[in-house]
Amino acid sequence: MLQIGICDDETLLLDEIKKITENCLQRQQTFSILSTYTNGEELFYDIQDGKRFDLLLLDIEMPGLSGMELAKRIHELLPDALMLFVTAHYKYAVDAYELHIFRYIPKNQLKERLPHALKDAVSLLEIQNTDSYIINNQTRLERIPYKEILYIEKDGKNAVFHIVNIENPENNTANGRVPGTRRIRKTLTEIFDELQSGEFYFIERGYIVNLRHVSGISHTDCILTDQTCLPISQSRLSEFKKMLNQYWQNKI
């Protein structure tokens, strides 16, 4: 079930966006919960309190906390959430692009363009939610979405998954996420072959990182979004920099 937030200070427009969204999701047979807000502060407070959203539709020009600033703050807490800007001003299109906004919807073309944007957003979210690693052994059967895997570490004859739980609001870690681990008796090479995803990289024989959660490289350390530092093999450093740079460019 998708969690969708809509924020616009104009109540009439807010109702129209909600109606279009509900009709579109109903046609797609997509189950969702819609939450509406008339100011950015209220929406952001809910996110700070642990409310999760998969998709957000934001007005840009709002009193108090603007859509631009709101989007920046949301991205820090919910980096995987898709955001659509709905605005009457074309001058913001470039800025919206630089903020990695999924789509830009002019208010005077709401009925024509919003349904298409919603369809594309739901399709992307469905793909993201189905990309998962399955742990299946004598004691555990569990699906771990790729987007929740921070990194995988070798520990003797075991592989340890370091994951983030984005559902739990009671936390005090970076990006509002609770870290956890899952241990299985497999080699990292076996795990890497099973992942079959370009989002993962062997930075060192003892570590596989998820590029989604890499915030940068410092000397020969890989810095993750939760501030974890992992060593990068000198022989793989140059290739890793190229791969990470390409990954970031593709996300822009």
On whether both 126 and 21 belong to a single domain, the answer is yes
Any residues with CB less than 8 A from the CB of 54 and at least 6 apart, and which? 2, 3, 4, 81, 82, 125
58-67, 113-122, 136-145: which range is least confident on average? 136-145
> pLDDT digit string (tens) for 1-11?
789 999 999 99
49-58, 141-150, 190-199, 237-246: which range is least confident on average? 141-150
For residue 222, the cross-strand partners are 217, 230
For residue 229, the cross-strand partners are 223
On whether both 33 and 152 belong to a single domain, the answer is no
Q: Which residue, 130, 163, 184, sits at the end of a domain?
A: 130
On whether both 124 and 148 belong to a single domain, the answer is no
- Domain assignment of residue 136, yes or no: no
- Domain assignment of residue 137, yes or no: no
Are 54 and 125 in contact by the 8 Å Cβ rule? The answer is yes
On whether both 73 and 157 belong to a single domain, the answer is no
- Domain assignment of residue 135, yes or no: no
Range of the domain at 75: 2-130
- Domain assignment of residue 189, yes or no: yes
* CA pair distance 209, 215, nearest whole angstrom: 11
Are 132 and 143 in contact by the 8 Å Cβ rule? The answer is yes
Q: Which residue, 130, 150, 180, sits at the end of a domain?
A: 130
- Domain assignment of residue 181, yes or no: yes
Q: Tell me, what CATH number does 175's domain have? A: 2.40.50.1020
On whether both 93 and 198 belong to a single domain, the answer is no
On whether both 35 and 122 belong to a single domain, the answer is yes
Mean pLDDT taken over the chain: 85
On whether both 6 and 123 belong to a single domain, the answer is yes
pLDDT exceeds cutoff 50 at 173: no
Highest-scoring range by mean pLDDT, 81-95, 130-144, 181-195, 238-252: 181-195
User: Which position has the higher pLDDT, 171 or 85?
Assistant: 85
* CA pair distance 11, 80, nearest whole angstrom: 27
Say if strands 55-59 and 2-7 run parallel, antiparallel, or are unpaired: parallel
Secondary structure string (H, E, C) spanning the chain: CEEEEEECCCHHHHHHHHHHHHHHHHHCCCCEEEEEECCHHHHHHHHHCCCCCCEEEEECCCCCCCHHHHHHHHHHHCCCCEEEEEECCHHHHHHHHHCCCCEEEEHHHHHHHHHHHHHHHHHHHHHHHHCEEEEECCCCEEEEEHHHEEEEEEECCEEEEEEEECCCCCCCCHHHCEEEEEEECCCHHHHHHHHCCCCEEEEECCEEEEHHHEEEEECCEEEECCCCEEECCHHHHHHHHHHHHHHHHHHC
* CA pair distance 150, 238, nearest whole angstrom: 21
Confidence of residue 228 (pLDDT cuts 50, 70, 90): very high
> pLDDT digit string (tens) for 174-202?
444 445 899 999 999 999 999 988 899 99
On whether both 194 and 95 belong to a single domain, the answer is no
Q: Which residue, 72, 107, 130, sits at the end of a domain?
A: 130
68-72, 134-138, 233-237: which range is least confident on average? 134-138
User: Which position has the higher pLDDT, 102 or 157?
Assistant: 157
C-alpha distance from residue 199 to each of 3, 18, 79 (Å): 24, 34, 15
On whether both 109 and 73 belong to a single domain, the answer is yes
On whether both 157 and 187 belong to a single domain, the answer is yes
On whether both 166 and 200 belong to a single domain, the answer is yes
- Written as six digits, the tokens of 7 are 């924020």
Q: Tell me, what CATH number does 64's domain have? A: 3.40.50.2300
On whether both 55 and 164 belong to a single domain, the answer is no
- Domain assignment of residue 171, yes or no: yes
Confidence of residue 60 (pLDDT cuts 50, 70, 90): confident
Looking at residues 33-60, what average pLDDT do you find? 92
What's the total number of domains in the chain? 2
C-alpha distance from residue 138 to each of 31, 141, 142, 187 (Å): 33, 8, 12, 17
* CA pair distance 151, 163, nearest whole angstrom: 7
Looking at residues 94-101, what average pLDDT do you find? 56
- Domain assignment of residue 247, yes or no: yes
User: Which position has the higher pLDDT, 49 or 177?
Assistant: 49
Give me the pLDDT at residue 167, please.
44
Confidence of residue 107 (pLDDT cuts 50, 70, 90): confident
- Domain assignment of residue 9, yes or no: yes
Give me the pLDDT at residue 174, please.
41
User: Which position has the higher pLDDT, 170 or 61?
Assistant: 61
